[in-house]
Amino acid sequence: MAGISGDAVETLRAGMTGVVALASETNYDEAVNIWNGAVSRRPAVVARCTTTADVAAALAFAREHGLEVSVRGGGHNYAGHALTEGGLMIDLTPMKAVHVDAEARRARCGGGSTWGELDAATQGYALAVPGGFISHTGVAGLTLGGGLGWMSRLAGLSCDNLVGAEVVTADGQVLRASESENTDLLWALRGGGGNFGVVTEFEFTLHPVGPIVHLGLFLFSPDQGTDLFRFARSYLNDLPDESCAFLAGLSAPPAPFVPPELHFTPAFALAVVGFGDAAAHAALLAPIKAALTPIVEMATPIPYVALQQMFNESAPWGLYAYEKAVYLEELTDAAIEVIVEHQPRKLSPLSFVPIFVLGGAYARADDGSTAFGGSRDIRYVVNISAATPGPEGYEAEREWVRAYWAALVPHAAGVGGYVNFMSEYEADRVRNAYGSKYERLQQIKARYDPGNIFHLNANIPPAS
Ligand SMILES: Cc1cc2nc3c(=O)[nH]c(=O)nc-3n(C[C@H](O)[C@H](O)[C@H](O)COP(=O)(O)OP(=O)(O)OC[C@H]3O[C@@H](n4cnc5c(N)ncnc54)[C@H](O)[C@@H]3O)c2cc1C
C-alpha cells in the first residue's frame, strides 16, 4: 500500500473496536462489494466502524495520511460513491442498532442500518418510518438525499421525518443535530446528502402503519399505456392520504398471479396501497376496474414488511445499473406520449421505470424545513433505470435511459432532479437539483466541512 506504513495501519487497528481491512485481507471483499456491479473501485483501507469513536479514529487516519474518504451506508448509491479508489472507506455496515420508543413515536438507528432492519423493529409496534421501495437499501443515503416510498403521501419523505442525528464532522468532532442543537446541520441533513459529516445515528418520527396493509396491483399491455396514464392522472388526484399509488413501466414478473405466457413481457403497472381497512381499499380499486381492462389484477392484504420487500428480488446485488430521473407536475399528453413511446424500447427485462406518485403529506410538508430540492408541487418522479445481469447489453440499456430522459426533460418541472436517482452528476445538475437552497447549503458546508473532505456524493462545494 503506497505511502502508508504497516505500523500506521496497526496503530489505527489498535485505536478501533471495528475491523480494519486492507486488500486481500478477510472482510475487505465483503466491504467493497456494493449494490451496483458496474462500479468497482479499490480503497486502500477499509475501516469497518462499530462505534462513533471508530469513525472519528478513521477520519483522523485519513487526515493524517491525506487519503480520500468515502462513506458506506447501505452501499446502494448508483454512482458507487461508497467506494474510493486508493483512499479510505468508512464502512458503517456494522452500525445497525435500532431503538424504538413506541410511546414517544421515535426510532433511532445506526448509520449502517437498512430499511428492512428498521422496518422489522418498528413494525413490532405497528409503527413505521417512511422508507424506500426496496428494503435492502440503506437508511443513510436514502434519507440524506430525500427518501421516496410507499408512505410519501401518508407521512412525507424520509428526510421530512428526520428529527435528530449524531454526526462526526470532518475535523472529528461528534455533534448532535436536532430541532434545538445545530439546527442548520439538521436542516442540511434533511435532503442535502452526505456532504456534512458521517451520520452515526439517525432519529425519526414514527407513524402508525399496518402491520397489515392492502395492495392492489394491475398490469396492462404496452398498447394500453396511453389509456392507463390518462385515467391515472385524474384518478390519482382524488386519492386519499391514507393510500399510495405507483405507476411503472416494467416486464411482467414471473409471479404466481401472472399467467406464465406473460412472464417477462413488457407491461405497464398501477399499484394502489391502502393503509386503512379492506373495504376502504376495495372502494379505491373500484374505479380502476370500472374504467380499464387490465391483463392481470391482484388484490390482497399484505404485511407492511412484505410490501417493503416486494421488489427486493427484482433488484438483486451485483446488477449493472444506471439511472436518471425527472420530476413532473402533471402527466400531460405530451409526457405520456414520451413514456409510451420510449418504454417498450428497453431490451433488458430487469430495466424498470418506477413512477412515484406524490401529493398528500409530501405536498403539505413545510418546504422551508428541509434542504430537499424538489418542489412540493411535484406530483410524479419518473425514475428511468437500466439494469442488466452483467456487462452484456449494459451500454445499449444505458443509451435507452439517456434517450428516454432527454425526451422527457422538456416536460419536466425545472431542470434539476432528485440527487438519489443520479448515476452521474453532470455540470450543474446538483446545483439545479437544490435550486434556491443551494447557496445556504454551501454556507453550511463551509461551516462543517470547509475542506470538502466529504466529496464522494452529490457534491456541494463549500462557499468560499
Ligand atoms: C435497488 C434500489 C432501490 C432504491 N429505491 C429507492 C426508493 O424507493 N426511494 C428513494 O428515494 N431512493 C431509492 N433508491 C436510491 C437510494 O436512495 C440511493 O441509492 C441512496 O444513496 C442509497 O443509500 P445507501 O446508504 O444504501 O447507499 P451508499 O452507497 O452506502 O451511500 C450513498 C451515499 O450516501 C452517503 N452516506 C451513506 N451513509 C452515510 C452516513 N451514515 N453518513 C453520511 N453520509 C452517508 C455517502 O455520500 C454515500 O456516497 C434506490 C436505490 C437502489 C439501488
SS3 string of 205-240?
Answer: ECEECCCEEEEEEEEECHHHHHHHHHHHHHHHHCCC
Residue 383, ligand 1, Cβ within 6 A: no
**Per-residue pLDDT at 8:** 87
**Coil, helix or strand for 71?**
strand
Mean pLDDT, rounded, for 199-205: 98
Mean pLDDT, rounded, for 59-79: 96
Nearest-CA residue for atom 35 of ligand 1: 194
**Per-residue pLDDT at 314:** 87
State the closest ligand 1 atom to the C-alpha of 315, by its place in the atom list counted from 1: 1
Residue 116, ligand 1, Cβ within 6 A: no
Top mutation candidate among 33, 77, 89, 148 for ligand 1, by most atoms within 8 Å of CB: 77
**Per-residue pLDDT at 5:** 83
- Give residue for cell 455533534: 175
What are the grid coordinates assigned to 64, written together? 493524517
Q: Is 312 left (phi over 0), alpha (psi -120 to 50) or beta?
A: alpha
pLDDT at 169 over 90: yes
Q: At 384, is the pLDDT very low, low, confident or very high (cuts 50, 70, 90)?
A: very high
Q: Mind listing the domains of the chain with CATH numbers? A: 6-91 (3.30.43.10), 98-208 (3.30.465.10)
pLDDT digit string, tens, across residues 114-126: 999 999 999 999 9
CA distance linking residue 328 with residue 359, whole number of Å: 12
Residue 82, ligand 1, Cβ within 6 A: yes
pLDDT digit string, tens, across residues 354-376: 999 999 999 999 999 999 999 99
What are the grid coordinates assigned to 224, written together? 394500453
Q: At 1, is the pLDDT very low, low, confident or very high (cuts 50, 70, 90)?
A: low
How large a percentage of the chain has pLDDT more than 90? 92
Residue 136, ligand 1, Cβ within 6 A: no
Mean pLDDT, rounded, for 211-239: 96
Residue in 110, 63, 116 with CA at minimum distance from that of residue 91: 110
Whether the ω angle into residue 344 lies within 30 degrees of 0, i.e. cis, is no
Local structure of residue 422 (DSSP, 8 states): -
CA distance linking residue 38 with residue 25, whole number of Å: 23
Amino acid sitting at position 112: G
Q: How far is the CA of 262 from the centre of ligand 1 (A)?
A: 32
Residue 145: CA atoms inside 13 Å, Cβ hemisphere, count?
Answer: 26
Q: At 246, is the pLDDT very low, low, confident or very high (cuts 50, 70, 90)?
A: very high
Residue 73, ligand 1, Cβ within 6 A: yes
How large a percentage of the chain has pLDDT more than 70? 99
- Give residue for cell 376495495: 282
Residue 71, ligand 1, Cβ within 6 A: yes
Beta pairing class for 207-208 and 127-128: antiparallel
What is the residue-wise DSSP string for 152-182?
HHHH--TGGGEEEEEEE-TTS-EEEEESSSS
Mean pLDDT, rounded, for 399-416: 91
**Per-residue pLDDT at 140:** 98
**Per-residue pLDDT at 2:** 58
State the closest ligand 1 atom to the C-alpha of 139, by its place in the atom list counted from 1: 25
Q: Strand (E) positions, 252-364? A: 266-274, 296-303, 320-328, 353-357
Burial 38-51 (b: 16+ CB within 10 A, else e): bbebebbbbbbbbe
pLDDT at 415 over 80: no
What are the grid coordinates assigned to 89, written together? 472507506
Residue 110, ligand 1, Cβ within 6 A: no
**304 CB burial (10 A radius; 0-12, 13-18, 19+):** buried
Residue 138, ligand 1, Cβ within 6 A: yes
Q: How far is the CA of 371 from the centre of ligand 1 (A)?
A: 16
**Per-residue pLDDT at 313:** 87
Asked if residue 269 lies in contact with residue 356, where contact means CB atoms within 8 angstroms, the answer is no
- Give residue for cell 445556504: 440
Top mutation candidate among 36, 50, 72, 76 for ligand 1, by most atoms within 8 Å of CB: 76
Top mutation candidate among 92, 137, 157, 322 for ligand 1, by most atoms within 8 Å of CB: 137
Residue 288's CB is within 10 A of a number of other CB atoms, namely: 19
pLDDT digit string, tens, across residues 112-159: 999 999 999 999 999 999 999 999 999 999 999 999 999 999 999 999
CA distance linking residue 6 with residue 14, whole number of Å: 12
Under 8 Å CB-to-CB from 194, ≥6 apart: which residues?
A: 71, 81, 140, 141, 144, 454, 456, 457
Nearest-CA residue for atom 1 of ligand 1: 315
Residue 457, ligand 1, Cβ within 6 A: yes
Under 8 Å CB-to-CB from 10, ≥6 apart: which residues?
A: none
> What CA–CA distances, in Å, run from 211 to 122, 155, 372, 376?
10, 16, 29, 29
Mean pLDDT, rounded, for 274-279: 95
Q: How far is the CA of 361 from the centre of ligand 1 (A)?
A: 22
Q: How far is the CA of 39 from the centre of ligand 1 (A)?
A: 15
Residue 374, ligand 1, Cβ within 6 A: no
State the closest ligand 1 atom to the C-alpha of 141, by its place in the atom list counted from 1: 23
What is the residue-wise DSSP string for 361-389?
HHHHS-GGGS---S-TT--EEEEEEEEES
Q: How far is the CA of 412 from the centre of ligand 1 (A)?
A: 23
Burial 100-110 (b: 16+ CB within 10 A, else e): beeeeebbbbb
What global pTM score does this model have? 0.96
- β-partners of residue 101 are 106
Q: At 6, is the pLDDT very low, low, confident or very high (cuts 50, 70, 90)?
A: confident
Averaged confidence pLDDT in the chain: 95
Asked if residue 405 lies in contact with residue 328, where contact means CB atoms within 8 angstroms, the answer is no
Residue 81, ligand 1, Cβ within 6 A: yes
Beta pairing class for 266-274 and 207-208: unpaired
Q: How far is the CA of 286 from the centre of ligand 1 (A)?
A: 36
pLDDT at 445 over 90: yes
Residue 347: CA atoms inside 13 Å, Cβ hemisphere, count?
Answer: 11
The helix or strand, by DSSP H or E, that contains position 199, with its residue range, turns out to be strand 198-205
State the closest ligand 1 atom to the C-alpha of 71, by its place in the atom list counted from 1: 46
CA distance linking residue 312 with residue 183, whole number of Å: 35
- β-partners of residue 273 are 215, 244
